[in-house]
């Protein structure tokens, strides 16, 4: 079955992604030919299925450091597998394609813990990351061969297991004459720096720090859960940036550490949120949200200036993810890096919200073809490896 899939000249692949914001499942149906630098692709349909408040709460409670009992994690793993399978069926149906004609699903899963820094247990060095969304459930419900658990092999090879989309960024956005910075602003913000005419070994990729995570956390806490995010930065625009709070946030040690590096809720989740709220009693909510929005933009700009721009010349930045729809955040980012032309990924044929789901469709394509699909220059792995666990679909 796997050999037959790999030898097909063209494949229909669904990519599924649920990010650290835990707001829903992004699913993208992609038609793919070839692989590696000969890859050609076309997005047929993309949809986001929002989580219910209960599911989102289960994910967030399981994702905070020190939380989540094993029974809850077991059940959430299967529940998310069911929801991912429904998302795959939904996007295929909207595209008018029967699931029986879909060749492959690539599922990133839902990260609940990402612990890539090695610890030694009984003399054994351990790097770990946990993504939920049981691929056996996805394959069983859809009948489609499913690739999942992408981070594990890179971690086993000594990498951080992230950022994985830097490989896809290189395939999609490399350019002979222009250096490009590819920025995705989800819950966490990530950066891929692709110098002009670069080979994969010259590509730099890492998580820059918070994306929407701190902003969303403040909106949710200060609204008593009635709001999940700041649509188009309305609260940020109404507030006043507090320079003293911003300065303290920009002292976060993660921002100064050199890549390769990766982060998540462990660094910018509940503990940081509690500190912001606890250290600033009486500060109006919109001022805190305005400051957090500027913090996100400044942390991305700092990463570009400290670790990417001194090494090569870059003319443009391509931005995707939910943060790219926040007008205030984008204004701050353009002001912080005025020498770059900053555009949304939709101007390059890739809708803002589809980027990561498309990426995991394309990563699954490489996996099924047996093509190494990590970038050691981004993840810090000792060598290129083939990512993912393959769960066969129904025969026939």
For position 58, which CATH number holds?
3.30.420.40
pLDDT band (50, 70, 90) for residue 266: confident
In the predicted structure, residue 1 carries a pLDDT above the cut 90: no
Say yes or no: 83 and 184 in one domain. no
Say yes or no: 333 and 374 in one domain. no
pTM for the whole thing? 0.95
Say yes or no: 149 and 289 in one domain. no
Say yes or no: 328 and 361 in one domain. no
Mean pLDDT across the chain: 95
Predicted local distance difference test score (pLDDT) of residue 323: 95
Say yes or no: 153 and 58 in one domain. yes
Say yes or no: 59 and 45 in one domain. yes
pLDDT band (50, 70, 90) for residue 396: low
Chain segment 44-77, per-residue pLDDT in tens: 999 999 999 999 999 988 987 777 689 999 999 9
| 229, part of any domain | yes
Say yes or no: 178 and 153 in one domain. no
- The pLDDT > 90 percentage for the chain reads 91
Between residues 44 and 23, the one the model is more confident about: 44
Predicted local distance difference test score (pLDDT) of residue 2: 82
Say yes or no: 153 and 198 in one domain. no
- Closest to 48 in 3D by CA, of 98, 78, 87: 87
Predicted local distance difference test score (pLDDT) of residue 368: 97
| 121, part of any domain | yes
Say yes or no: 260 and 323 in one domain. yes
Q: Are 14 and 106 in contact (CB under 8 A)?
A: yes
| 22, part of any domain | yes
Determine the Cα–Cα distance for residues 158 and 381; give it in Å rounded to an integer: 5
| 396, part of any domain | no
| 236, part of any domain | yes
Residue with tokens 């942390």: 299
Which stretches of the chain are assigned E, i.e. beta strand? Answer: 10-18, 24-33, 40-50, 104-121, 124-132, 146-148, 180-185, 188-194, 204-210, 316-320, 341-344, 389-391
Say yes or no: 140 and 58 in one domain. yes
Between residues 226 and 136, the one the model is more confident about: 136
Residue with tokens 């399981």: 62
Mean pLDDT across 331-340? 97
Say yes or no: 192 and 307 in one domain. yes
Q: How many domains does the chain have?
A: 2
Say yes or no: 173 and 34 in one domain. no
Predicted local distance difference test score (pLDDT) of residue 130: 95
| 119, part of any domain | yes
Chain segment 103-150, per-residue pLDDT in tens: 999 999 999 999 999 999 999 999 999 999 999 999 999 999 999 999
Predicted local distance difference test score (pLDDT) of residue 65: 73
Domain that holds residue 84: 2-161+353-391
Mean pLDDT across 14-20? 94
């Amino acid at each position: 079955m796997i050999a037959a899939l790999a030898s097909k000249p063209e494949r229909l692949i669904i990519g599924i992604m649920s990010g650290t914001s835990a707001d829903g499942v992004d699913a993208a149906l992609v038609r793919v030919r070839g692989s590696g630098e000969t890859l050609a692709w076309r997005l047929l349909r993309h949809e986001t299925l929002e989580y219910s408040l209960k599911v989102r709460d289960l994910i967030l409670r399981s994702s905070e450091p020190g939380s989540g009992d094993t029974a809850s994690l077991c059940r959430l793993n299967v529940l998310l597998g069911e929801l991912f399978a429904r998302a795959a069926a939904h996007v295929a149906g909207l595209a008018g394609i029967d699931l029986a004609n879909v060749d492959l699903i690539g599922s990133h899963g839902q990260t609940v813990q990402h612990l890539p820094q090695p610890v030694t247990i009984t003399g054994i060095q351990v790097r770990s990351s946990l993504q939920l969304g049981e691929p056996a459930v996805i394959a069983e419900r859809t009948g489609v061969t499913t690739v999942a658990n992408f981070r594990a092999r890179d971690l086993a090879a000594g990498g951080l297991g992230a950022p994985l989309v830097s490989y896809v960024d290189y395939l999609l956005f490399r350019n002979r004459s222009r250096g490009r910075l590819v920025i995705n602003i989800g819950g966490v913000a990530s950066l891929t720096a692709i110098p002009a005419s670069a080979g994969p070994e010259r590509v730099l990729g890492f998580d820059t720090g918070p994306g929407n995570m701190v902003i969303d956390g403040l909106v949710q806490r200060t609204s008593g859960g009635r709001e999940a995010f700041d649509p188009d930065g309305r609260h940020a625009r109404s507030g006043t940036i507090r320079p003293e709070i911003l300065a303290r946030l920009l002292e976060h040690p993660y921002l100064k550490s050199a890549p390769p590096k990766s982060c998540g809720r462990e660094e910018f989740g509940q503990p940081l949120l509690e500190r912001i709220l606890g250290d600033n009693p009486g500060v109006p909510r919109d001022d805190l949200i305005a400051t957090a929005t500027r913090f996100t933009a400044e942390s991305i700009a700092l990463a570009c200036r400290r670790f990417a721009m001194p090494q090569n010349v870059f003319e443009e930045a391509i931005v995707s993810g939910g943060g790219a729809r926040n007008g205030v955040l984008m204004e701050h980012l353009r002001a912080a890096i005025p020498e770059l032309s900053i555009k949304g990924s939709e101007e390059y044929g890739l809708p803002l919200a589809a980027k990561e789901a498309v990426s995991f469709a394309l990563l699954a394509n490489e996996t099924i073809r047996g093509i190494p699909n990590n970038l050691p220059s981004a993840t810090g792995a000792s060598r290129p490896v083939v990512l993912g666990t393959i769960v066969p679909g129904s025969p026939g």
